Each structure stands twice: as C-alpha cells, then as structure tokens.
Amino acid sequence: MSADQISIIIVEDEPEFRRRFAQIIDGEPTMRLAGVAANKREAQVLIDREDFDVMLIDLGLPDGTGIDLIRSVSQRKPDVDIMVVTVFGDEQHVVSSIEAGATGYILKDSTPADVISCIRLLRAGGSPVSPVVARSVLRAIRSRMGGAGTSGASAPARSPNAENNPLSARETEILQLLAKGMSFNEIGEILGISPHTVTAHIKKIYRKLAVHSRGEAVYEASQMGLLKT
Amino acid sequence: MQERPSLPPSAARRPALVLRIGQALLVAAALLFGAMATASAVPIRKLEWSYIAPDPLATTQQSTGESRTPFDLPLRWSSVEGSPLHTVAMRMHFQLSAVPDRTWAVLLSHTSEGGRFSVNGHFIGAIAAESATRHVSWRRPQLLAIDAPMLVEGDNELLIETSYGPGSHALAGIEVGPMSELWNQYALQFVLEYVWTWIGATIALLTALVFGALWWRRREAISKLLALAALCWIVYCAAWLVEIIPPEYRLWVRLAGMTAMAAFSATLAVTLMRLSSLSRRREEWLIWAYAALGPVLSLASSMGADPYLSLSWQPGLILIIAIAAGVGLYRRTQGLVAPHPLVLIAAVILLLAALIDFGSVARLINFEGTPAMNFAGPLMLAALATPLVDGFIKILREAEAARAELETRVREREQLLKRNFERLRASERVTVEAQERQRIMQDMHDGLGSQLMSSLMLVERGAVSNEQFAQILRESIDDMRLAIDALAAEDADLAAALGNLRFRMEPRLRAAGMELTWDARRLPEEIGLHPDVVLPILRIVQEALTNALKHSRARAVRVTLAVEGSGEAQSLDIRVADNGRGIAEERVGGRGLLNMRNRAQKIGAQLKLETAPNVGTTVHLRARIGPISPSTRPQQTVLNTQAIIERARQQ
C-alpha cells in the first residue's frame, strides 16, 4: 500500500452491501479498505483505532442511528470525509447527516464507478448533491434565518438576510440552480466557473450547514440549561 | 337726632339652654385647647352708656357725658337707615382684690364694634370702628392686653369710645382676665366662629365645583340644585365675612347676603321636594317667588323694611323648609320615595339652627354668637351630597361588576372557542392523516404494488431472464424514488423532483448513446405543488423518457420545462422530445401511453403526443398549477386489490 492511497472504513449492517462496497474498494488500486463494522459499537472501536480518510456509513444501524457517529467523527477528525449510504437519497436522511457533519452521500444501488468517482470527488474537495437535497438545504438555511419553522417551502423566496444567512450570494445561487435540476457542467457554464468549483462550493455549503446547526444546538442546549456557561 | 338703643330682655351672659350646633365640637375643641373660662377671668355684665357731643372720636380723652345710662350686657341695638354716626362712651367696671402680677387682657366676643380702649385712663389699644369712610362690623373676637401696673386694687374702669352708624350692632361678651387664660378662649372662639365660616364656605365651594361639573356633563336636576345651593352658601358666607367696607357698599353686601340666604332656603326646599319625588312646577314657582319677595321688598324700601322682614318674611322661609322636610319625613315613614335619612336629619338640624337664629334676632331667646346657620348650612350641603356620592359609587360598583362579569364571559367564550378550535384541529389532523394514508396506500397499489405483482406473475411463469428481473426490480425502485421525491416535503418542489429524475435518467440515456438536454430556464425557483399532483407529473415524464430510452433509438432527447402565466391561469408546460424513429400507429394506443393519458386526466392536465416516422416523438404535457381547486385534485378511487391482481394476471 502506498501513502497516496485513500483509506476507507465502512459501517454497514447489511452483509450483502458491506461485501459489495468492500469489493468495489478492493478492486480500486488507489483506495484501501481500512476496516469494516456492522454496528455502532464495532464502528466506535474502528474509528478509535484506525487512521482513515473516508467513512462510508449507513444511518440505520442495529444499535442506533449513525448520526452520532457522524457528529463525533466530524468533530474529532475534521479531515475525514464522511459519506452517508442511503437507499433513496431522500432529503430527510441526507440533510440531517449533512447537519451532523457528512459531506457526501451515495445511493446503495450505485454502480461501482459511481462509488469510486464519488469518493474521488470528496477527496478532491467537492461534494455531490441532488436537486431535492439542494432544495432541502436551501429550506433548512431559510428556516433558520427566518426562524419560521420548516414551512419555508411554500413561502416565496425571501431575500437572504445577511446576518443569519451563512451562505454567500454565489453559494445560494448555485443551490438554486441545482434545485432547478441543472447539472454541475451547466451551472459552471452559466456562472463561468469549472464544474469542480461548483462541487467545491457544495462542500463548503455542507460545512457551513454543519457548523451552523452545531452552533444552534449549543445555543438551544444553553437555553434549556443543559450546558453550564 | 339721637335714639336710644332698645334694651335686651335678659342680661344672662350665656343662654341657660345652649341649643347650639356643634356643641359637641366645641366641647371637644375646648378639651383640646385645654382651657375654658376660668374662675380668675371676670365677665363684665353692665355698662354705662353716654353719648359724646359731635366731637370726633380721636380728640376725646375723657368723657364729658352728662347722662350715663346703665345697660346690661349682652347688648344689641340697631340704628335706622339714614341716621348719622353716633359717638358714644361705654364705661364698665370690674373689681380686683389685689393688683395682679401678670399681664391681663380684655376679650371681646360677638362684638361688632371697634373703638378706643382704656383702663383706668390708660390707653390699651384701638380697634377699627365705624367712621364716615368705612363701615365696620367685626365677626371675629378681639383681644387687648392690659399692663398689670395699670390695674388697681378695688374698682377698675374699662372705657370704650366708639362710633356707630345705621344697621344692627352687638356688644355681647366682654371679659377681663389674665392674658394666659383669655388667650385660649380667644383662639377657640376665633376658630369656631370665624374660621369655621371660612371652612363652611370652602365646603360649599367644593360642593359647587363637583356638582356643577357633574351637572355640566350630565344635566341632572339634583346636581344642579345642589350646586346652586352651594353657590348661594358661598355668597352668604362672603357677605357675612366682610368686616370692613366703604359705607356705600354696606347695603349691597347686606342685600347679597339676604338674597343668598333666601335662595339657599328656596333651593333647599325644592331639593327636598324633588328628593321626595314631588316635582310640582307651581309649588316650586311659589317657593321661588316667596324667596324673592324679601330681597325685592328690602331693595324697594332701601333696606328700611329689613327689621320687619326679619320678623315676618324670614319665618316664612323657615316654614317652607319645615314643610318640605316634614313631607320628606312623612313619606319616609310611609315607605315612599323620600330623601335619604341623613338629609332629613340635617334638615331638622338646619331648622333648629334657623329657629335659634330667628329667636335670637327676635330676642325671644338669649343667644349670642355666630349665627347657628353658619354651622348647619355646610352640614346640610354635605348631607345632600352624601346620597348623591353614594349613588355615584353604587353606579361605579355596578359598572365594575358588569365589566368583571363581561370579562368572565368573554374568557369563558374564549376558552370554549379555543377548545372547539383544538378539537377542530385535531379532527382536521386526523382527516389529513387519513387522507395521506389513503393516498400512500393507493399509490402503492397503483404503482409499486401492481408493478411488483405483474413482475411476480412473469417470474412465476419463468418468462424472465436474470437480466430482465434486475430490470424489473430497478424499475420498481425507480418508481419508489419518484414517490419519495414527490413526498419529499410538505409541499413538494416539482422542479427539484424533476431534477432528481434527470439525475437518475441522464446516465442511463448516455449509456444508450442519447444526449439529454434539460432546459429548465423558464422554471421559477420553486414550484410548490401537492404531492398528489407532483407524482403523476413525475411518472409521466419518467414514462416518456423510458419510452424514448427503450423504443425511440433517438440520438438526442430534449426536456423543456416552463411555467407560464400567473395566478389562476398559471400553467406548467413540459415537452419531452426525441429525434428517434417515432411511434408506429398501432403502438400509439399502447399501455404505457394509456397510463400517461390516465395520469394526465387525473390531475386535469392535457397530454398530447406528436409522432412522425424518423422525425421523432414529442410528449407534451400541459397542466394548470394555479391555486389548487377541487377539480384539479385527483379523484379518490376505491382501492380494489383484487382488480389489480386480475389485471396483472391477464398480462
């Protein structure tokens, strides 16, 4: 194994999928499988023991949700890319993972090529996103800005509030284009940037969403008297 | 022309029976002051009266009176209108067993006159007396100091040299004694008889202001009468309290006082009647007329009729009040509408006071001092105000109670509304949840359910290869993804859901050698539509793309999305166009296309199919997406699992 190999751990409770992902990574010379875990407990041991670049994690684990693992890894190992494995890529799972610190997600039935390219994209500083997820991220940001609950969807697009909106105008624009179903290439053309830059923006947006939601959680916890200030 | 003062009928210094208003007050105040007349003070009961020749008072040092007339004190006399100033010397004597070692004093009470005062030939002081330029009528007591060395053992003489003009005069209490004792007495009298009248006037002023304001705002008859009575009382007090004025105003002040008292009495009588619910115009006019009689006659006779009026007309006023009060008392005993008991009590006290004053003026009783009316008047005003204030407070309480009750009712109603609202919300939520369940179930039957069912039939028949089987499952998963995209949020965003579809389909189309062009430029940022509408649209577009993928052999597929119009007329326009070989005539009625049409129909959309051999196929969907109206909502269809299975078996 060489130093520039991407080391990966897999946390997945279903053996079939665990095997499949392991095979895909084993078959890729630029990547190295650093370990697999079938539940949270094993995963915790693995995380503590191994050095790794990427964590593939399924949210629904037999001994609890993977969200906690995502949160602790993203805080303790900020260089690690966390990739959520999801059946449908539905917004609820993906957005809560992003808020916990995940920067990517992949569908369970993705082709090996998709899996490989998605991991590469992550290590290259980018993040994938689907239109529905982009839309959800926009909604999440907006509801926090306005504090108007989660019903920002039916409301007309509000002008970004500079104080609460962690996103830059460019980032918001990219999300809006993505939500309309534009591809990275098309967005790059429209904005005069490379598709790679578009994905880099996405990753930045994810990070901001995670930091923002963490701050919010701390604020709420202190409000409820859970934290001593 | 000189005239002798008439003699008072009795020489008693104090009336044996003191029916005096505020006696209790007096006693209490006396205790407070800690001193009353004491044994060492000497009341003077006799005086010698002598006229002095028309010499001015100032030049007279010693009387040269040839005729000294003895009089008993208290002394009241009057001089007719038009008579000139009389200058008199009054000599009084008092005996001392020893020369005192302290300062002594002379206390003059209920004495209208001023003058020069000397003891044993020593001047002790002067008090303003009547002259050509001023009329003097003291209402307050006076106190003059006597130096002890001026006094001698045995007989001492007090000399008063004074002048008097027309009008009534009084020389009632003259007392000689140690200053320390007389001072207390003086202070007490000053407060009770002089200051009290000021207090009465102040009470009247407040009453007039309060009830005048009340009448101004409410136009209530009783308030008006009370304010009027109070006003009369103020005028009466003002006239009474005037002690020194230019002589030419004397009669006017007297007239004002008389008129005020008459108006007060009449107002009082009318008020008492009104409080008894007896509002008789004629009687009231008679009362007013009678009250006016006195001042009119007085004016007509240039005050000459005054002495007779006070004996004839004034008792009439008292009688009128007595009748009004009597009627009130009678009505109260009969349980009819009557004045408040406090008012009746005050009226009785007032009548007694009026009788005392009348008796004193008519010299029927020996009463010296401030008119008893001065005490009874304010009492009457206060008594009249009490029921009105009571009523006012009662009304306030009632208003408060009404408001409190109203608040309680509003609160109860509010809570009821809230409960109802919550109940409504709960049932609404239940309904929505039930609808949602219904929708998801129906969708599972129509979509994934029937798809899996028909696939099962195929697999059971052994008619599918592994490859086909994977394809079937993939399609099932795709359909499920559509449903999830459509359900993604409370209000699904059609643009994002279509975008997801694109992301899934693009790699497959590319793998089949087709270029996908996705034109969403004419889409708004967000299209919030109900999942009921979003899902059929997604399925139609997916079906169109799948058809193109499977059958068209096209090189390029173009999806154009646009929203046109606004409000009610807003519509969504979707075109899926390929440049393939077209759909053969006999396949146009195929199942896939039929499905698309059915779905379009369900959401009230129009679906057009344009196809030409070797030119391509365009599926054109046009749906109104304005505010959701019931007609655009898909109809609820009854679930029929059996029918779905039957349909699947037939394939």
For B332-362, write each residue's pLDDT tens digit.
999 888 888 899 999 999 999 999 988 887 7
Strand B606-612: give its sheet, edge to edge: B515-522, B556-564, B571-578, B616-624, B606-612
As for how many domains chain A has, the answer is 2
pLDDT tens digit sequence for B156-179: 999 999 998 888 888 888 889 999
Domain boundary among B395, B412, B443: B395
B528 to chain A, any CB pair closer than 8 A? The answer is: yes
Is there a single domain that holds both residue A17 and residue A89?
A: yes
In chain B, residues with a C-beta closer than 8 Å to the C-beta of A94 are none
pLDDT given at position B236: 94
| B648 or B143: which leads in pLDDT | B143
**Chain A positions touching chain B (beta carbons under 8 Å):** 88-91, 109, 130-132, 134-136, 139, 150-151, 153-154, 157, 176, 178-183, 186
Nearest C-alpha in B relative to A155: B528
Q: Closest to B485 (Cβ–Cβ): which among A132, A134, A179?
A: A132
3-state secondary structure of B78: strand
Tell me the residues of chain B between 339 and 378 that have a Cβ less than 8 Å away from chain A: none
Domain boundary among B353, B379, B395: B395
Q: Is residue B472 part of a domain?
A: no
The answer to whether residue B429 scores a pLDDT higher than 70 is: yes
Q: Closest to B490 (Cβ–Cβ): which among A90, A130, A153?
A: A153
pLDDT tens digit sequence for A79-105: 999 999 888 777 778 888 988 999 988
**Separation CA B240–CA B259 (nearest Å):** 12
**Separation CA A148–CA A145 (nearest Å):** 8
Q: Do B499 and A132 count as a contact with CB atoms less than 8 A apart?
A: yes
Residue A166 distance to chain B (closest CA, Å): 20
Is there a single domain that holds both residue A107 and residue A159?
A: no
Mean pLDDT calculated for residue range B537-557: 89
Percent of chain B with pLDDT over 70: 86
What CATH number did the domain enclosing B636 receive?
3.30.565.10
Written as one letter, the residue type at B99 is V
| B535 or B398: which leads in pLDDT | B398
Is there a single domain that holds both residue A149 and residue A171?
A: yes
pLDDT given at position B490: 55
B495 to chain A, any CB pair closer than 8 A? The answer is: yes
Is there a single domain that holds both residue B391 and residue B491?
A: no
Is there a single domain that holds both residue A71 and residue A166?
A: no
In chain A, residues with a C-beta closer than 8 Å to the C-beta of B488 are 90-91, 132, 135-136
Q: Is residue A228 part of a domain?
A: no
Is there a single domain that holds both residue B43 and residue B143?
A: yes
Q: Do B499 and A88 count as a contact with CB atoms less than 8 A apart?
A: no
Q: Do A179 and B525 count as a contact with CB atoms less than 8 A apart?
A: yes
Q: Is residue B318 part of a domain?
A: yes
Do residues B140 and B106 touch, judged by C-beta distance below 8 A?
no
Q: Is residue B418 part of a domain?
A: no
pLDDT tens digit sequence for A118-138: 999 899 888 888 888 888 888
Domain boundary among A95, A123, A151: A123
Do residues B9 and B73 touch, judged by C-beta distance below 8 A?
no
B502 to chain A, any CB pair closer than 8 A? The answer is: yes
Residue B614 distance to chain A (closest CA, Å): 29
pLDDT given at position B498: 87
Is there a single domain that holds both residue B391 and residue B537?
A: no
CA torsion A85→A89→A91→A96, rounded to 10°? 0
Q: Is residue B445 part of a domain?
A: no
B618 — pLDDT class (breaks 50, 70, 90): very high
Among B283, A48, A46, B333, smallest CA distance to A56 is for: A46
The answer to whether residue A166 scores a pLDDT higher than 60 is: yes
The answer to whether residue B534 scores a pLDDT higher than 80 is: yes
**Separation CA B236–CA B177 (nearest Å):** 35
As for how many domains chain B has, the answer is 2
Q: Is residue B425 part of a domain?
A: no
Strand pairing category for B515-522 and B46-51: unpaired
pLDDT given at position B365: 79
**Separation CA B362–CA A52 (nearest Å):** 128
Q: Is residue B334 part of a domain?
A: yes
Domain boundary among A94, A123, A152: A123
What CATH number did the domain enclosing B174 receive?
2.60.120.260
Tell me which residue has tokens 């920002």: A152
**Separation CA A34–CA A192 (nearest Å):** 39
Query: Which pTM was predicted?
Result: 0.50
Is there a single domain that holds both residue B391 and residue B490?
A: no
Mean pLDDT calculated for residue range B214-222: 86
pLDDT given at position B2: 39
pLDDT given at position B386: 84
Q: Is residue A213 part of a domain?
A: yes
Is there a single domain that holds both residue A187 and residue A115?
A: no
Cα B525 versus chain centre, distance: 58
Do residues B524 and B625 touch, judged by C-beta distance below 8 A?
no
Q: Is residue A1 part of a domain?
A: no
Is there a single domain that holds both residue B491 and residue B627?
A: yes
Is there a single domain that holds both residue A142 and residue A89?
A: no
Here the tokens at position B191 are 């407060």
Cα B14 versus chain centre, distance: 52
Q: Is residue B458 part of a domain?
A: no
3-state secondary structure of B122: strand
B5 — pLDDT class (breaks 50, 70, 90): very low
What CATH number did the domain enclosing A78 receive?
3.40.50.2300
Q: Closest to A132 (Cβ–Cβ): which among B496, B506, B561?
A: B496
Is there a single domain that holds both residue B391 and residue B517?
A: no
Is there a single domain that holds both residue A46 and residue A102?
A: yes
Do residues B513 and B555 touch, judged by C-beta distance below 8 A?
yes
Is there a single domain that holds both residue A101 and residue A179?
A: no
**Separation CA B245–CA B137 (nearest Å):** 9
Domain boundary among A70, A89, A123: A123
Is there a single domain that holds both residue B271 and residue B146?
A: yes
B37 — pLDDT class (breaks 50, 70, 90): very low
Is there a single domain that holds both residue A11 and residue A119?
A: yes
pLDDT tens digit sequence for A179-222: 888 888 888 998 999 988 998 998 888 888 887 776 665 555 55
Cα B606 versus chain centre, distance: 69
A110 — pLDDT class (breaks 50, 70, 90): confident
pLDDT given at position B244: 92
| A156 or B339: which leads in pLDDT | B339
For residue B578, the cross-strand partners are B557, B617
B476 to chain A, any CB pair closer than 8 A? The answer is: no
Q: Is residue B439 part of a domain?
A: no
Is there a single domain that holds both residue A62 and residue A141?
A: no
Q: How far is CA B209 from CA B203, B231, B237, in A?
A: 10, 9, 16
Percent of chain B with pLDDT over 90: 30
Is there a single domain that holds both residue B231 and residue B112?
A: yes
- Which helix (H) or strand (E) covers residue B177, if one does? strand B167-178
Q: Do A130 and B503 count as a contact with CB atoms less than 8 A apart?
A: yes
Mean pLDDT calculated for residue range B239-264: 91
The answer to whether residue B627 scores a pLDDT higher than 90 is: no
The answer to whether residue B218 scores a pLDDT higher than 90 is: no
Is there a single domain that holds both residue A168 and residue A80?
A: no
Best A106, A129, A132 member to test B by mutation, with max B CBs in 10 Å, is A132
Is there a single domain that holds both residue A114 and residue A144?
A: no
pLDDT given at position B457: 82
**Number of CB pairs, chain A paired with chain B, less than 8 A apart:** 87
In chain B, residues with a C-beta closer than 8 Å to the C-beta of A158 are none
B81 to chain A, any CB pair closer than 8 A? The answer is: no
The answer to whether residue B116 scores a pLDDT higher than 90 is: yes
Tell me which residue has tokens 């078959």: A27
Do residues B612 and B588 touch, judged by C-beta distance below 8 A?
no
Query: Which domain covers residue B320, as residue numbers?
Result: 23-395
Among A166, A188, A163, smallest CA distance to A177 is for: A188
Query: Which domain covers residue A144, as residue numbers?
Result: 131-223
